Structure 1
Amino acid sequence: MSSAESVAPEPDETGDPRRPSWFYTFGRLALAPLARAVYRPRVEGKSNIPRTGAVIFASNHLSFIDSIAIPVAVAPRPVHFLAKSSYFEGRGLQGWLSKVLFTAVGAIPVRRGAGQAALEALEQQRQILESGAAVALYPEGTRSLDGRLYKGRTGVAFLALQTGAPVVPVGLTGTDKVMPVGARVPSLRQRVTVRFGEPLELSHHGPASSGKARRTATDEIMAAIHALSGQELADAYNESPAQSPMEKIKRALPHERR
């Protein structure tokens, strides 16, 4: 999600989203082996994945396919992330397949909104973590269109400091070649590499209520991701151009990007 986009949780018709539904189980059994056979992903550092307990996977973001690569690499452990509710609401066979795909990779539907909605999305992720489950998040907020690694927003650090969940940094390479931005069909000629770093315990930065703690914890997370991905650093936030003079002024002022 970009900084201009926020989401509000959409009720899950299958019940508690933290408990795997039959859709999730079916999708994982059907899609994970297929994805492994087709893309032959290289998975490094899998021993760094905690087998139980709350954990946040914080990854760079290069392609739509990232949200498939991470759950496949983490398997058999379920992992959840937020996705646009429109992916779950399509009609006919295509809509059904979309719902199966996103449910299979642990997506939880959310609606776009404004203001309080972004905080409500963070609250839903907090509840998932406090249930002992795993979530996957992209600190950059949205996909990198030029392949560089952008500055992280502080939402991931806020969740980690608030819940005490460790953060496992993830470095993805090759996903932008499998499915570049704008492509409708993934390439079958590319291989993906998923690297998991050692879990980060961030409480030494301070409480979640501290802006400085959130910022320094975020910088530690992004440094770990950079070490795994090897991307060029952008030293800027990944966001669309400001559309109004007021937005330009707001972005020029020093503040956190949550």
Structure 2
Amino acid sequence: MASGGGGGAGYGDSNQKIDYVFKVVLIGDSAVGKSQILARFARNEFSLDSKATIGVEFQTRTLVIEHKSVKAQIWDTAGQERYRAVTSAYYRGAVGAMLVYDITKRQTFDHIPRWLEELRNHADKNIVIILIGNKTDLENQRAVPTEDAKEFAQKEGLFFLETSALEATNVETAFLTVLTEIFNIVNKKNLVADENQGNGNPASLAGKKILIPGPAQVIPAKSNMCCRSS
């Protein structure tokens, strides 16, 4: 598994050699906590008076996965409709996505299928996606049952976790789930590439955008994290 966890290790980027850079996008309605999730992961911070994101911004954090240095480049965009024009550039090169809704606002969950459709229309078809129900610290105001989200995630083939950026619950796990899965996919493709070099048959890699040079490794199959909610 990955290191650089909740104690602060891995925050900020040093001069270490970077083996991989993975772009991950945060999407979902405005005010669901996307920027707070990013701040918690990238800097282990949370601000009660967070301002709405204007346009697009990104932050990075470097971690170690399977003894490799991975720089996560996390992009955050405003959820408001007037910023939707950034779509194509925002998704370009993304290998992971976090679909975020607010468990206390049913409408934000009801909009998830629309966000997912947009993501699948603009991003690489192999993108790793996790559905995130944020603000579990407001359990007494819950409007979206965990089972509803779990069922949707299973139907769409998504990972799923509920988080609290305020309490730092599952934020680290959510990012590591996505980044580790991307890492596994990349390494499996490297393995396939090595096998095909002797056959002159690179066709199996056509259209893949997340091939990054590196040594081939056999990585364990995807863990069953899609349905964890605590």
Richer in strand (by share): 2
